[in-house]
Amino acid sequence: MKELLQALTPGERDWRIATQLDPKRLPAHVAIIMDGNGRWARQRNLPRIMGHKAGVNAVRTTVETCAQLGLEALTLYAFSVENWKRPRHEIEGLWRLLRFYLRGELPTLMRNDIQLVAIGRLESLPDNVQNELQSVMDKTAANRGMRLNLAINYGGRTELLDAVNAILENAKLEGNLDALEITEEGISSHLYTTGLKDPDLLIRTSGEMRISNFLLWQIAYAELFVTDTLWPDFKRTDLLEAIFDFQNRERRFGGLACGPALTGESPVYMLEEEVLELPLA
Ligand code: FPP
């Protein structure tokens, strides 16, 4: 948070929003479905790839701002397992942009102590993309600030399949398949995001009310923030406003809003006999 305030000019709009944020209640992990690049390009009579190119700038700003805020993790949905259905030239353009981003962004990642990790079925990516990703992952592996997950050839269902198959494979290797019990912890620890907290906040741009197969397991209790802003137009202000909105939500995780854990007051409980005597009809 300190880093962000230092980067802002006192009095400017982003500084005003940032100073209203509670540094103790920042989301630990933010996940973003970056949608609307195609529409942004169409509105300007440009080829779709120009929308993706403009989207790279939004990626840069968002990554650096999240690191300056001191978030533990940011997960960006860059390419889904379903995106292979797009025209070949668009897919190839996306790989070129990703490689361009990775090359150009290394100094920023290092300066901000960001560790980059690609998550998804990476083995199906073109060799030059895999190599570029591996090179940046290696170079940033020792960074201990924010973890930046780039979800590439990612699908929530394939991630769950990979996790369950890995659990089965381990059990077979250890010869205890018969006694195998699959638990929530077991699944969580075999996801691509193992070791990270689940996202507290899921942002989706361009107004669609969909999850699109993103982090299906991990977003069980995430707060959702959908904005009509198209991804290339998503600025630092939009991110700070999303976090401000998040901080004004009441998160109950299936519990009660006014429980003693939250207010410190004694709750009013009914006696067991009173509960049993409640008329149910
Ligand atoms: C969705 O918009 C966006 C994508 C499928 C790709 C996202 C890629 C980038 C932001 C640029 C490269 C990424 C990195 C990490 C450097 P859409 O094309 O579905 O938009 P539309 O719904 O308006 O057509």
CA of 181 to the centre of ligand 1 (A): 39
* Given the residues 14, 35, 198, 200, the one annotated as active site: 35
Structural contact between residues 48 and 41, judged by C-beta atoms closer than 8 angstroms: yes
For the segment 27-73, what is each residue's pLDDT rounded down to a tens digit? 999 999 999 999 999 999 999 999 999 999 999 999 999 999 999 99
Tell me, using a 6 A CB cutoff, whether residue 83 lines ligand 1: yes
What pLDDT, on the 0 to 100 scale, is given for residue 269? 57
Residue 43 lies in a domain: yes
Residue 35 is a catalytic residue: yes
Residue 252 lies in a domain: no
For the segment 155-173, what is each residue's pLDDT rounded down to a tens digit? 999 999 999 999 999 999 9
* Given the residues 14, 37, 45, 83, the one annotated as active site: 83
- pTM metric for this prediction: 0.92
Q: Is the pLDDT of residue 257 over 90?
A: no
Residue 273 lies in a domain: no
Q: Is the pLDDT of residue 243 over 70?
A: yes
For the segment 77-86, what is each residue's pLDDT rounded down to a tens digit? 999 999 999 9
Closest Cα to residue 37, out of 28, 49, 29, 26? 49
Residue 84 lies in a domain: yes
CA of 28 to the centre of ligand 1 (A): 24
150 CA closest ligand 1 atom index: 15
Average pLDDT for residues 276-281, to the nearest whole number? 75
What's the total number of domains in the chain?
1
Residue 226 C-alpha from the chain's centroid? 14
Structural contact between residues 94 and 126, judged by C-beta atoms closer than 8 angstroms: no
b/e map 136-161, b = 16+ CB within 10 Å: bbeebeebebbbbbbbbbbbbebbee
What pLDDT, on the 0 to 100 scale, is given for residue 252? 85
Q: Is the pLDDT of residue 201 over 90?
A: yes
For the segment 74-113, what is each residue's pLDDT rounded down to a tens digit? 999 999 999 999 999 999 999 999 999 999 999 999 999 9
- Number of H-type helices and E-type strands within the chain: 11, 6
| pLDDT interval class at 254 (50, 70, 90) | confident
CATH of the domain at 218: 3.40.1180.10
Tell me, using a 6 A CB cutoff, whether residue 60 lines ligand 1: no
Residue 16 lies in a domain: yes
Which structural domain, as residue segments, surrounds residue 176? Answer: 2-186+194-247
Residue 36 lies in a domain: yes
Residue ID of nearest Cα to ligand 1 atom 5: 79
Lowest pLDDT segment from 120-129, 251-260, 261-270: 261-270
E-assigned strand segments in the chain: 29-33, 73-80, 115-119, 147-154, 201-204, 223-226
Residue 239 lies in a domain: yes
Q: Is the pLDDT of residue 262 over 50?
A: no
What pLDDT, on the 0 to 100 scale, is given for residue 260? 43
78 CA closest ligand 1 atom index: 7
CA of 52 to the centre of ligand 1 (A): 5
CA of 59 to the centre of ligand 1 (A): 10
Residue 274 lies in a domain: no
| pLDDT interval class at 261 (50, 70, 90) | very low
Average pLDDT for residues 239-243, to the nearest whole number? 98
What pLDDT, on the 0 to 100 scale, is given for residue 272? 67
